[in-house]
Every structure is written in C-alpha cells, then in structure tokens.
Amino acid sequence: MTEDEFYGFVNSIKPLDLSACENARKYQANLAMPPSSLGMLQELAVQLAGITGSIKNTVEKKRIIVLCADNGVAQEGVASAPQSVTASQAVNMTEYKTGMSAIAKKFGCEVQVVDVGIKCDYSCDKILNKKIRRSTNNISKAPAMSREECLAALATGIELAKKAKDDGVQILGTGEMGIGNTTTSTAVLCALTNEDPEKITGRGGGITDQAFAKKKKVIRMALDINEPNPSDVLDVIAKVGGFDIAAMCGVFLGAAQCRLPVVIDGYISMVSALCAKRISSVSAGYFIPSHKSKERGFLLAAEEVGVKPFLDLNMRLGEGSGCPLAFEIIKAACVIMNDMASFTGAGIDDSYLTEIRKQRDF
C-alpha cells in the first residue's frame, strides 16, 4: 500500500449514522423502564445503531485479532521477560492456554493470532504469518522501522479487519503480544501528547526499580534521538513505535471503514486506537472501550481517544484480555433493544414519566 492509497482509504471512512442513533434513543424511550436507567448499556446500544444503521443488532460472531511482534528496545533491559516469551505465548494463544485465550474460548470468541514481527523461531501453522521483519530496531539508538514498513503493517491490520467483515464477524477485539511494547507505546503516547515520560511511564509486566528508572531514560532517549513529528502519526509510529502498534492501528481503521464495532483492550490497544483517531477522527465512533488498565499512561490515552472504560478489574495483562469480557456486556446492550418490552407491550401507562422526561437531567 502506497501512502496515497493509505490516505485514500482513510478518507473513505464514514462517520456514524446519526439518524440511526436518534432512532435508537427514541426506541429506548418507549421501553418499560425509568429513563436512562440502564446507563452505559443504553449508550452502547445507541453506538451500535450508529455503526450498523440498525437499532437492533447481535454480536454472536466475535473475533479477537492479536498482533504479535518483538521490539528491539528490549535489548535495553526495560522488560522482565526474555524475547522468546513473545513466540511462546503466541503459540500458547492458538492452543487457548493464555489468560486471554482461555477466557475467549469459554465465551465462544475466535482468536486470530498474527505474526507481524516475532523475532524468535517457532513451529505453529495456526499463527497467521504476516511478518514485516524479525523485530523492530532499538528505538533508543535508531528509528523502529522505515515509513514503508509502517505502511505495510498498517495495511496488514486493514486487511485483517476486511477479512473479518467478509467472514461474517459482527464485532472485533484487539490484542497484542510483544516483549517491550509498553515501552514503545509510552514513547508513542509521549510523542503524540508532548507528555513527560517521567509522569506516564509504567512498569509493564513488572520490573525492578532499577529497570524502571532505565525504562524512563530509554524512552526519553528515543524521543530525543528520533524527534518524531506529533502531527504525523506515521512518523511517530515508524520512529518510536512497533509493528504491533502499527498493525493494530490498521485494524481500528479497517474496522471503521467496514462499519464494524471494535473493542479496545488495555494500554497498547488504547495507544493504537489513539493513533487511529489522530489519522481519522471519525474512526473513533466505532471504538468501544473495555477495561481500565493499571498502566500509568492509560487514562491519558483514553482521554485523548475520548472513551471511558466500563470495567475496572485491576487488570494489566494485555493480550486482548478485556475483549471477551466486554463482548458479553455489549451482548447485554443488544438484549435491551431486541428483547425488552415497551410500556404498551408490558401493559403499563407511562404518563407518570411525562414531567420527568421533560427535565432531561438523567
């Protein structure tokens, strides 16, 4: 995909169907319940209507796309685990043995594991090979990737979203696996928001105080050496990001163009969603948050994306682990529209709500 082709694709992303959103709100107003009493479930139902154009929806066919890649910055000792864990866990995901994939299996979610830059060798034909190359460069010494490689990773994510739509998937989830990717995500977030690494760098999967201090220093070095341009998202990702971030950003953009709802997982996923929003502001209408990550930069990224996670389970695993949980909540939002009775259907005179509805403070 050339840069012109990429931005041509981006320009084809359409905003939510606002008339469908309004129709969903009107429909909810006649359901047998006090106004707005199901809160965020109702908001989700309205968002789904805007995405699909229909006030009644189902999300039975669910897929979590997990982008797997290694990061050269791991050479700096900023992560607790060796890079071999990326390949090992990617394989384990295909066997539903990781935290995310075990939960996904229980709730009937497809898991698609995609190699966009795993460094170590593995033997598993269930992993989809879309490797850009083996690992990015060490961002504290050089740009992570070329602009062309960034475009290739973005195109891969777009392709994955399109394939999901063609396969009849009704909702997507985003996940990742890559040692060192909280470092690259924080570097990207700092570049896009001009925030100080000292304030928003977290401990990722868990590191010593010494490694934590090194991590913040490495991120600052990466920003100083590479000088990413905050007004050019591709430049930011290419200089201080990762193949997983780029590909996941592509999934978000591809889902929006295909009018598919797409769930944000944790920190890396949220930063990738921010990248997508900066590229196409209307794409964010298709993003659905899941849980609040413990990573320090998460709330800043969520605020920048403009979403508020509806789960707070003290989670920090990543992998897409929030997605199967969010899918169940989104299914509940669909039930409201599909199965609840109206006041008339329930045999209830709703005139007692007339004055309450006028106040619009609910």
Read off the tokens for 155. Answer: 């195109």
Largest CA distance in the chain: 70
In the sheet with 128-129, reading across from the earlier edge strand, the strands are 128-129, 110-117, 62-69, 171-177, 262-263, 287-288
Active-site position among 60, 76, 319, 328: 319
* Helix runs in the chain, H state only: 3-11, 18-29, 39-52, 84-94, 99-106, 147-166, 181-193, 197-200, 209-226, 233-240, 243-257, 267-279, 298-305, 322-339, 354-359
Amino acid, single-letter form, for residue 357: R
A 10 A CB-CB count for 222 gives 30
Calpha distance 25→200 (Å, rounded) = 38
Calpha distance 280→67 (Å, rounded) = 21
Q: 103: closest CA among 362, 343, 311?
A: 311
149 is catalytic: no
Calpha distance 218→131 (Å, rounded) = 26
- Counting DSSP H helices and E strands in the chain, the numbers are 15, 6
Read off the tokens for 77. Answer: 């000792």
Residues tagged active-site: 319
